[in-house]
């Protein structure tokens, strides 16, 4: 494996600029970096894999889902790698709030403000999570059913 510099770790720190010793030690960050290097959505964010980008700022990235499940289906992701919602920390609250707020703005821009939409985080196996970098699905443009699983 390539040696990992502090520079490469920095984008994944929970709070950029805080000393590593105060945020849990290096081993956790090595783990995060290794996860990130193999992550599809980290590669999309870096432009290593193409996507139909909708929006980007310092914190979040939004793009159309490659296999849309509704007339409108896009994803909003944090630029910093977080594997699942179960891994979310108190320091991530503002970031996840930004994801949700950006999803709302994009949904309005795409014309589904009045008709509504479903805002979904799939988490781990029971929910069918397939990409382990948190992503907010926004689905709209048609009436959807509930519950979101087959009835007996």
Q: Which are the catalytic amino acids?
A: 135
44-52 long-range contacts, CB within 8 A, separation 24+: 44/77, 45/77, 45/79
Candidates 23-31, 59-67, 80-88, 107-115; binding stretch for ligand AMP (CB under 6 A): 59-67
87: tokens are: 């891994």
Query: Which residues, in sequence order, are bridge partners of residue 136?
Result: 76
104 vs 129 by CB, closer to ligand AMP? 129
Candidates 1-9, 26-34, 102-110, 121-129; binding stretch for ligand AMP (CB under 6 A): 121-129
Among 20, 65, 100, 119, binds ligand AMP (CB under 6 A): 65
User: Is residue 94 within 8 Å of 135, Cβ to Cβ?
Assistant: no
**Whole-number Å distance between alpha carbons of 79 and 47:** 12
**Whole-number Å distance between alpha carbons of 73 and 124:** 20
Among 13, 32, 39, 44, binds Zn ion (CB under 5 A): 39
CB of 11 to Zn ion, least distance (A): 11
Among 21, 58, 67, 126, binds ligand AMP (CB under 6 A): 67
Binding mask 29-58 for ligand AMP (x = CB under 6 A): -----------x--------x-x-------
CB of 76 to Zn ion, least distance (A): 14
Beta-carbon contacts of 51 under 8 Å, excluding residues fewer than 6 positions away, are: 44, 63, 64, 66
Where do contacts with ligand AMP occur on this chain (CB under 6 A)?
Answer: 40, 49, 51, 63, 65-67, 122, 128-131
Where do contacts with Zn ion occur on this chain (CB under 5 A)?
Answer: 36, 39, 41-42, 81, 133
């Amino acid at each position: 494996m390539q040696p990992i510099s502090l520079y490469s770790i920095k984008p994944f720190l929970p709070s950029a600029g805080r000393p590593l010793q105060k945020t849990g030690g290096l081993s956790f960050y090595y783990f995060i970096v290794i996860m990130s290097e193999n992550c599809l959505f980290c590669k999309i964010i870096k432009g290593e894999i193409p996507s139909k980008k909708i929006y980007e700022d310092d914190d979040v990235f939004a793009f159309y889902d490659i296999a849309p499940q509704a007339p409108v289906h896009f994803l909003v992701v944090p630029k910093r790698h977080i594997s699942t919602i179960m891994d979310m920390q108190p320091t991530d609250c503002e970031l996840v709030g930004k994801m949700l707020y950006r999803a709302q703005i994009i949904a309005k821009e795409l014309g589904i403000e009045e008709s509504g939409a479903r805002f979904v985080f799939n988490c781990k196996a029971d929910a069918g999570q397939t990409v382990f970098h948190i992503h907010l699905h926004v689905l709209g443009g048609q009436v959807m059913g509930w519950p979101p699983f087959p009835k007996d």
